[in-house]
Amino acid sequence: MEKQNNKVPLIGFTPQELCSTMQEYGGTSFQAESLMRWIYRKREKDISTFSDIPKAILQSVEQSYTVGLYPPKESKRSDDGSVKYLFAIGQNQVFEAVAMSSGNRHTLCLSTQSGCRMGCRFCRTGSIRFNGNLSAGDIINQVLSIPDSKRLNRIVLMGMGEPLDNLKVVNKTLEILTADWGCALGKSNITISTVGLLSELEAFLKSPGCNLAISLHSPFPDERAMLMPVERTNPILEIIKLLKHYPLKKPLRLTFEYVALGSLNLSKNHARAIATLLSGLSCHLNIIPWNRHNAATFQSPTSDELTNFMELLNDAGIPTNLRKSMGGDIDAACGQMAGNAPH
């Protein structure tokens, strides 16, 4: 994160990183955790109000540090109630977050990069220029700076960017989101979505910090490579091997994401091949009807295509859900996020 008024933002810090500074000011590691808890869990923006830390220590901290929250540049509300927030840092980095509610589930879809290097053909983000990784502070700021921050109970890292392409920062973000001194969300209330970069995926699976969603989109390597160029260097067959070698333990969940493209990837052969590919894995398949945008010329599926495809998969023993699309009227649905790029 950038300095604000020549002060270092505390958003994105862990207590361990702040501990030596607190000790210089006469504080303790316990007080470093307390300071972080005020910011992440209580959502306080003014350091001087942290009432369980001595004022002399707070005054010393305030000389060099600030909480560091910054608001979105703009927001748009969909007819379905979802809200898209546009953030900007520096000259070129723009990114978006989308808040969605359904019943008592209040979810925020976060970005981990400005743009994306993966180049998926059906995704609007993949068509724009990559402008860099976000810091842990910039990712957490998306959670803390929106008006409905305190009622959020689910986080999905499915916005702009490939999370495993920024794994070190994403792991730190997950620590902040789940720690008792942090936002204190359960690991099973957070999901990371990835194309499956093999080395980074293996590192994640050895110590998973949340649920995992793998972008599948076709069970056939050649077709998947056409849709997702990353298949050429990170084959889905190798991804499946890793998932079987490092199975997620409950309550964490494994899902596969499957964008439904009309007249392309919804045939009987696709359903049979998916059933074979996912055999032996404890998982669910989420079907996501393609959301239109002007950077690609695919077709949205018909209702008959979706119904028939899902019946084939469920009959084959693959638990399959149709994911409800939200925010399409404000370019906030899955695959439509592009910062301030023209739509």
pLDDT in tens, 145-183: 999 999 999 999 999 999 999 999 999 999 999 999 999
Q: Please tell me whether residue 313 adopts helix, strand or coil conformation.
A: helix
CA dihedral 324, 296, 217, 170 (to 10 degrees): -80
DSSP-assigned states of every residue in 83-142: EEEEEEETTTEEEEEEEEEETTEEEEEPPSBSS-SS--TT-SGGGS----BPPHHHHHHH
The pTM of the full predicted model, rounded to 2 decimals, is 0.93
List the beta bridge partners of residue 193: 213
Name the pLDDT band for 117 (thresholds 50, 70, 90).
Answer: very high
The domain spans of the chain are: 8-66, 89-330
Q: Of 98-102, 136-140, 205-209, 330-334, which range is least confident?
A: 330-334
Identify residue 121 by its one-letter amino acid code. R
Place of tokens 């028939």: 308
Helical H segments across the chain, by residue range: 15-24, 29-40, 55-64, 136-144, 167-178, 198-206, 221-227, 236-245, 268-277, 303-315
Q: Please tell me whether residue 213 adopts helix, strand or coil conformation.
A: strand
Per-residue pLDDT at 92 = 81
Assigned architecture for domain 8-66: Orthogonal Bundle (1.10)
Span 28-46, mean pLDDT? Answer: 94
Residues, the chain: 343
* CATH 3.20.20.70 holds for 89-330: yes
**Mind listing the pLDDT tens digit for each residue in 244-292?**
999 999 999 999 999 999 999 999 999 999 999 999 999 999 999 987 7
Greater model confidence, 203 or 22 = 203
Place of tokens 């980095």: 93
Q: Which residues are catalytic?
A: 96, 334
The rounded distance, in Å, linking the Cα atoms of 110 and 160 is: 7
pLDDT-above-90 percentage for the chain: 83
